[in-house]
Amino acid sequence: MDLPVKIFEEIKRMNEYESEYWSARNMAKILDYQNYRNFEAVIAKAKLSCEKAGQSIDNHFVDVDDMVQIGSNASRGISNTHLSRYACYLIM
């Protein structure tokens, strides 16, 4: 397995239904995006491509809020998108 494929498979997650997904925030880091907001434009284009291909966006892109620690036992929500393998293909 070559390195890019290995890294891609390493960041794969499984949800409670045993379906695989990838975090858009993790994908952005691997693809060397300095700011997640710049990667959000890529996600928007991939959603459009998904729709044009006759696929349901909701089956491949799930917008979520992840809780992150910000110090002093406090946390806050940050936006993220869970991506199917097909969504990752569209992004690439």
C-alpha closest to that of 65 among 77, 54, 75, 74:
77
pLDDT for 47-70, tens place per residue? 999 999 999 999 999 999 988 778
Per-residue pLDDT band for 3 (boundaries 50, 70, 90) equals low
Of 72 and 52, the structure prediction assigns the larger pLDDT to 52
Q: Is 69 exposed, middle or buried (0-12, 13-18, 19+ CB in 10 A)?
A: exposed
Residues 19-46: what's their mean pLDDT?
Answer: 95
Joined tokens for residue 37: 């907001």
CA dihedral angle for residue 48, residue 52, residue 55, residue 56, rounded to 10 degrees:
50
pTM of the model: 0.86
C-alpha closest to that of 83 among 50, 35, 37:
50
